[in-house]
Copies of this chain bind each other. A is one copy, B any other.
Amino acid sequence: MTLIEDARKGVVTDFVKKAAEYEGIEAEKLIRLISHGYVVLPKNVRREEVQPRAIGMLTSTKVNANVGTSADYINVEEEVEKAIIAQKAGADAVMDLSSGGDLDAIRKRIMEVVEVPFGTVPIYQAARDCHRVVDMDEDDFFRVVEKHAKDGVDFMTIHAGVNWVSVERLRRSKRLLGVVSRGGAITIGWMLHNEKENPYYKDFDYLLEILKEYDVTISLGDAYRPGCIHDAGDRAKYTEFIMLGELVEKCREKGVQCMVEGPGHVPLDQIETSVRAMKSVTDNAPLYLLGPLVTDIAAGYDHIAAAIGAAIAGMAGADFICYVTPSEHLALPTVEDVREGVIAAKIAAHAIDLIKEGQRERARQRDYEMSLARKNLDWERQFELSIDPEKAREIYSRRKSESEACSMCGDLCAIKLVKEAFERD
């Protein structure tokens, strides 16, 4: 029985109980949300221990960190270190997107250090295993999915919304950058070359059977995510939303947990509409966002452009934020980039939780305590409550103040001045 089927029967497992505790909500409420598909709780039956991370309605906003080799740069232990650092910085999920080296070995090695839900994009490996991407046969698409499922992968991105209907919309579109999703590009390239429908779409039921056997959560991939501001919000992307919405319905019918991925590069004023449209056509499936990046020109600082977009998307209902690192658009990230990326996404996630139904009160408590520590000029407590205690301490320490305040204002500290004035008064 899958987790969603258990939930529908009202069974509260230990895992669900732990997840509910982590969220600060009642277990009964959580299983109701899971049974409707409004929340997913990824865990492969083959994985012995996973930290529960519920994603979706009423639960705290989660952050994913991508790690993995590329053809140009294969250093497995560095990717392992990234996975460790990402979790230390607060990542709620880690995806291995490796596409260079011995992919099976790399995946297993990274999984060893990942305690939170672990995800992959199987088609990268399917494509890598062939001489040319277009040489894959239909079985290759499913073979890797099954392999990853057997290895214990908790969630997988599958670009099943790519089909002839959406490809036709893409062909008629006036996109500048076409397709920027790797998985989407592989699939479309394969379809056009072989003149065949996307196997993941055509045989979606078969795909679900495999996933169901291992209780893998499907993350319906965002093949048409706009790769630049110019391409945002076009008909190809909206068509994919609709296709994904249909597939969400199938997943729920079959008892497979699913979430939906979203764009991409999106200008500020289109984010809310885009998120609400996705939520509408997918009947409130948990929404997993890459970015959205609010400008194309922030190379070197795309973690900031993405944090802006994520926060706005979160206001409109996004649940799960895929981090973006300062290396985005430029290179494979370093370990330090990974840390920066996770923290930027965590800031957005926490800002969202400060206003998110079900999480608001708990999230605000932390900010309240931080501000209380500020009022009391209690620096140790401030470091403790900071998103990155080490960094906060380091900045504070490099310039000690003569006063009990910090070196910014010193004796002209506003908090001190007014506190004293009202006390005297």
Q: How far is the CA of A93 from the CA of B372 in the complex (A)?
A: 33
The minimal Cβ–Cβ distance linking A38 to chain B, given in whole angstroms, is 21
Q: How far is the CA of A408 from the CA of B386 in the complex (A)?
A: 31
Q: How far is the CA of A370 from the CA of B64 in the complex (A)?
A: 27
Question: Which interface residue of A128, A295, A327 has the most chain B CB atoms within 10 A?
Answer: A295
Q: How far is the CA of A305 from the CA of B329 in the complex (A)?
A: 23
A202 interfacial contact with B, CB 8 Å:
no
Binds B, one of A18-26, A51-59, A139-147, A387-395: A387-395
Q: How far is the CA of A343 from the CA of B298 in the complex (A)?
A: 9
A-B contact pairs, 8 of them (CB 8 A): A127-B412, A182-B414, A189-B417, A189-B418, A227-B374, A297-B366, A307-B307, A332-B399
- Least CB separation from A402: chain B residue: B72
A177-B375 contact, Cβ under 8 Å, with A347-B295, A412-B99, A421-B188: yes
What are the residues of chain B within 8 A of A391 when measuring CB–CB? Answer: 300-301
Q: Mark A39-82 against chain B: 1 for CB-CB distance below 8 A, else 0.
A: 00000000000000000000000000000001111000000000
What are the residues of chain B within 8 A of A399 when measuring CB–CB? Answer: 72-73, 331-332
Q: Tell me if B133 and A177 are in contact (CB < 8 A).
A: no
Q: Mark A390-425 against chain B: 1 for CB-CB distance below 8 A, else 0.
A: 011011101111110011111111110111111011
Q: Tell me if A269 and B395 are in contact (CB < 8 A).
A: no
A111 interfacial contact with B, CB 8 Å:
no
What are the residues of chain B within 8 A of A344 when measuring CB–CB? Answer: 301, 304
Partner of A371, one of B171, B228, B267, B301: B228
Q: Tell me if A301 and B388 are in contact (CB < 8 A).
A: yes
Binds B, one of A205-213, A248-256, A273-281, A350-358: A350-358
Binds B, one of A4-12, A237-245, A308-316: A308-316
Partner of A375, one of B176, B184, B304, B364: B176
Q: Tell me if B268 and A311 are in contact (CB < 8 A).
A: yes
Interface residues on chain A, number (Cβ under 8 Å): 111
- Least CB separation from A395: chain B residue: B330
Interface residues of A (CB under 8 A from B): 70-73, 99-100, 124, 127-128, 133, 171, 176-182, 184-186, 188-189, 192-193, 227-231, 267-269, 294-301, 303-305, 307-308, 311-312, 314-315, 326-332, 334, 343-344, 347-348, 350-352, 354-355, 364, 366-368, 370-372, 374-375, 382-383, 385-388, 391-392, 394-396, 398-403, 406-415, 417-422, 424-425
The minimal Cβ–Cβ distance linking A132 to chain B, given in whole angstroms, is 10
What are the residues of chain B within 8 A of A193 when measuring CB–CB? Answer: 421, 424-425
The 3 closest A-B pairs by CB, nearest first: A228-B371, A185-B414, A71-B410
Q: How far is the CA of A327 from the CA of B350 in the complex (A)?
A: 20
- Least CB separation from A394: chain B residue: B300
- Least CB separation from A411: chain B residue: B71
Q: How far is the CA of A366 from the CA of B367 in the complex (A)?
A: 38
A227-B182 contact, Cβ under 8 Å, with A177-B374, A301-B347, A307-B308: no
